[in-house]
């Protein structure tokens, strides 16, 4: 009975959603607004927001990858909030999975092929993750994917070696240092120019590694932070093993 | 005529809602929430797509797709997995206390 | 002169790609025809590794700009495919999946009896 | 019907089938693996929609980390749904 009701509700919702989204065009060019006065540029303009980002983004931020420009520069304060949500969630997982009586679970050893292979691959995967977040302002990628790749390399070690444990103290130290870097860079911007997260370093030439001011610094910090938090989540969910 | 990308992502969301309403197992409900999350992400990205455009990386010329939904979804995915881990750890705590994952049995044990 | 060398390289690349697709075809036929899990896993890793390696090398020879990238991808396929296959096969053995009646070697069982 | 349409229709069909399997199967481990397959297909769709950043993130998280976290959770509770 409950299944039938749920199925009917689901089909009704599907029809409502489909009717709602039938009017939104797919894959068409971004439309212009009617003319309006833009107080920042001090002129009339008819650009929508993404067109504004795509037109002026390279000059405003110095980054080549516009997604990075939006995440770190235009919406940097949002990203600070999101990283805080991530921190709270990983703290919650750690505190909920904490066991006092340390019930130890028996784990079988994995075989020699898996152990040797994962020892070989671990370094390469960490290197790839670091590449992703260091080049976040030039190529696709950035702190969030890089951190996820680093955490998956630690997951490989956890799966291959039953007794492996990442040291909690080192994870805590790297996580807090990365968070501090983010906030200190933001506060330096506040001191120098009066805006939180102001891009105070020189932009340099676009498409070069040392360009875009503080964006690479912040993205490296985000990468380290996300990596250590996700590793902490994996460690907590894994439990105590023997 | 609705675009097929919207239809796919709407059906993911609806399947997630169906799981959350009809199923009684806690882990199944968490899987349903994950499916809903993925559907919303796909919907946002497909709204921002522009035909014959490239990714918003300005090494190459040409029209670009909308960068704002991509920036939204980039953070939403990472937050989604951490929130899912939080929900799973709460479910494990409930299992340790009551010995079951079925919702109606949990209601019976609680008293 | 260099044009002729490039042409020869391209022809060699296309030959490599056809060999690779042939092995991929063999792998998919074997996936359908083989009797048990372990035989299927062997076709799905061994033949597929060889097939994708020669496809990658062929692509690298056709467009020389891609050669370093495709070599790196090939190295990672060589590193990862056997690890995953061995872990999967071992897990299914420990889980109790039976061997096919016609199989002749069971090294895991011999090892257990020796202990 | 260009190539983009055909490939995305096939991938969307696989995605919906994986989601339905994850909804209906009684074995929670299989449901987790089906949701991982769905995430992998969705990451290919993100790449086709010109969002490479999101595709990398979804492939690393949806197919590896999220599935691993879910399997750890199932391992410390029950495997079968009633």
pLDDT at D77: 83
Q: Are D and B neighbours with ≥3 CB pairs closer than 8 A?
A: yes
CB contact under 8 A, C86 and A118: no
Say if residues C61 and C17 touch (Cβ distance below 8 Å). Answer: no
Across D2-27, b (16+ Cβ under 10 Å) vs e yields: eeeeeebeebbeebbebbbbbbebee
Distance from CA of C86 to the nearest CA of A (A): 7
What is the DSSP annotation of D12-42? HHHHHHHHHHHHH-SBHHHHHHHHHHHHHHH
Instruction: Tell whether the model's pLDDT for residue D6 goes beyond 80.
Output: yes
Helices (H), chain C: 2-33, 37-42, 48-62, 67-94, 107-114
CB contact under 8 A, B5 and D53: no
In a 10 Å sphere around its CB, with 0-12 CB exposed, 13-18 middle and 19+ buried, how is residue B40 labelled?
middle
pLDDT at C18: 92
pLDDT at C78: 87
A164 CB-side CA count, 13 A: 19
pLDDT at C115: 61
pLDDT at A240: 64
Instruction: Tell whether the model's pLDDT for residue B10 goes beyond 70.
Output: yes
pLDDT at A107: 66
- Does residue B61 form part of some domain? no
Give the range of the structural domain holding residue B77, as residue numbers without chain letter: 4-56+66-110
> Helix (H, G, I), strand (E, B), or coil: what is residue A80?
helix
11-40 of B, contacting A, C-beta below 8 A? 11, 13-15, 17-18, 21-22
For residue D76, give the nearest of A160, C90, A228, A104 by alpha carbon. Answer: A104
A139: nearest CA partner in chain D: D53
Bridge partner list, D80: D27
For residue D62, give the nearest of D78, D46, D80 by alpha carbon. Answer: D46
Number of domains comprising chain B: 1
Instruction: Tell whether the model's pLDDT for residue B76 goes beyond 70.
Output: yes
CB contact under 8 A, D57 and B78: yes
CATH number, position B38:
1.10.287.3510
pLDDT digits (tens, 9 = 90+) for D37-82: 999 999 999 998 888 888 988 888 888 888 888 888 888 888 887 7
Can you list the residues of chain A whose pLDDT is less than 70?
40-41, 99-108, 240-242
What is the DSSP annotation of A153-211? HHHHHHHH-TT----HHHHHHHHHHHHHHHHHHHHHHHHHHSSTT---S---STTSSS-
Query: Who's near A196: CB < 8 A, 6+ residues apart?
Result: A76, A77, A186, A187, A189, A190
pLDDT digits (tens, 9 = 90+) for C18-76: 999 999 998 889 888 888 888 888 888 888 888 999 999 999 888 888 888 889 888 88
- Is A189 or C99 the better-scoring residue by pLDDT? A189
ipTM (interface pTM): 0.86
pLDDT at B3: 84
A42 CB-side CA count, 13 A: 0
Say if residues B9 and B39 touch (Cβ distance below 8 Å). Answer: yes
State residue C66 phi and psi, 5-degree precision: -90, -5
Bridge partner list, B64: B54
CB contact under 8 A, C86 and A111: yes
- Does residue B71 form part of some domain? yes
pLDDT digits (tens, 9 = 90+) for A21-68: 888 888 777 777 777 777 766 777 777 788 888 888 787 788 888 888
- Alpha-carbon Rg for chain C in angstroms: 19
Q: In chain A, what are the domain boundaries?
A: 1-61, 64-238
pLDDT at A106: 64
Residues from A contacting C (CB-CB < 8 Å) are: 108, 110-111, 113-114, 117-118, 120-121, 124
- Does residue B96 form part of some domain? yes
- Does residue B84 form part of some domain? yes
pLDDT at A101: 55
pLDDT at A59: 79
pLDDT at D41: 92
Distance CA A228, CA A215 (A): 20
């Amino acid at each position: 009975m409950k299944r039938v009701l749920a199925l009917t509700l689901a089909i009704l919702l599907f029809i409502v959603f489909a009717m709602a989204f039938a009017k939104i065009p797919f894959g068409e060019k971004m439309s212009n607004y009617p003319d309006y006065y833009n107080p920042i540029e001090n002129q009339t303009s008819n650009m929508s927001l993404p067109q504004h980002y795509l037109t002026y983004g390279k000059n405003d931020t110095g980054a080549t990858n516009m997604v990075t420009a939006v995440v770190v520069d235009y919406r940097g304060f949002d990203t600070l909030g999101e990283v805080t949500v991530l921190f709270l969630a990983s703290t919650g997982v750690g505190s909920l999975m904490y066991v006092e009586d340390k019930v130890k679970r028996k784990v079988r050893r994995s075989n020699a092929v898996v152990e040797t292979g994962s020892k070989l691959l671990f370094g390469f995967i960490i290197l790839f993750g670091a590449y992703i977040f260091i080049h976040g302002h030039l190529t696709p990628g950035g702190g969030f994917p890089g951190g996820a790749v680093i955490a998956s390399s630690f997951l490989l070690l956890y799966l291959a070696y039953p007794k492996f444990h990442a040291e909690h103290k080192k994870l805590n130290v790297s996580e807090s240092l990365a968070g501090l870097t983010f906030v200190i860079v933001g506060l330096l911007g506040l001191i120098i120019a009066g805006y939180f997260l102001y891009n105070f370093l020189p932009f340099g030439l676009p498409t070069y590694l040392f360009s875009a001011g503080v964006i690479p610094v912040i993205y490296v910090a985000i990468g380290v932070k996300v990596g250590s938090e996700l590793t902490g989540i994996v460690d907590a969910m894994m439990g105590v093993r023997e | 005529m609705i675009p097929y990308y919207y239809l796919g992502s709407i059906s993911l969301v609806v399947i997630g809602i169906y799981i959350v309403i009809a199923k009684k197992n806690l882990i199944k409900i968490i899987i349903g929430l994950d499916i809903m999350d993925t559907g919303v992400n796909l919907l946002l990205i497909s709204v921002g797509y522009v035909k014959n455009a490239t990714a918003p990386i300005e090494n190459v010329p040409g029209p670009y797709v909308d960068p704002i939904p991509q920036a939204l979804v980039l953070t939403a995915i990472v937050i989604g997995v951490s929130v899912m881990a939080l929900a799973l750890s709460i479910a494990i705590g409930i299992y340790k206390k009551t010995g079951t994952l079925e919702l109606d049995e949990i209601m019976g044990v609680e008293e | 002169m260099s044009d002729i060398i490039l042409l020869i390289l391209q022809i060699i690349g296309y030959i490599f790609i056809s060999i690779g697709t042939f092995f991929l075809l063999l792998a998919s036929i074997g996936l359908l025809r083989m009797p048990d899990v372990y035989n299927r896993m062997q076709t799905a890793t061994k033949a597929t590794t060889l097939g994708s390696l020669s496809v990658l090398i062929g692509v690298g020879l056709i467009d020389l700009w891609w050669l370093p990238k495709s070599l790196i991808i090939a190295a990672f396929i060589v590193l990862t495919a056997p690890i995953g296959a061995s872990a999967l096969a071992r897990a299914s053995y420990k889980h109790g999946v039976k061997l096919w009646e016609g199989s002749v070697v069971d090294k895991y069982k011999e090892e257990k009896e020796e202990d | 019907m260009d190539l983009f349409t055909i490939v995305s229709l096939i991938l969307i069909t696989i995605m919906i089938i994986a989601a339905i399997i994850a909804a209906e199967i009684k074995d929670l481990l299989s449901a987790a693996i089906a949701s991982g397959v769905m995430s992998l297909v969705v990451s290919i769709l993100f790449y086709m929609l010109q969002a490479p950043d999101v595709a990398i993130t979804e492939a690393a998280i949806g197919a590896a980390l999220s599935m691993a976290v879910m399997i750890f959770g199932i391992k410390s509770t029950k495997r079968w749904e009633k």
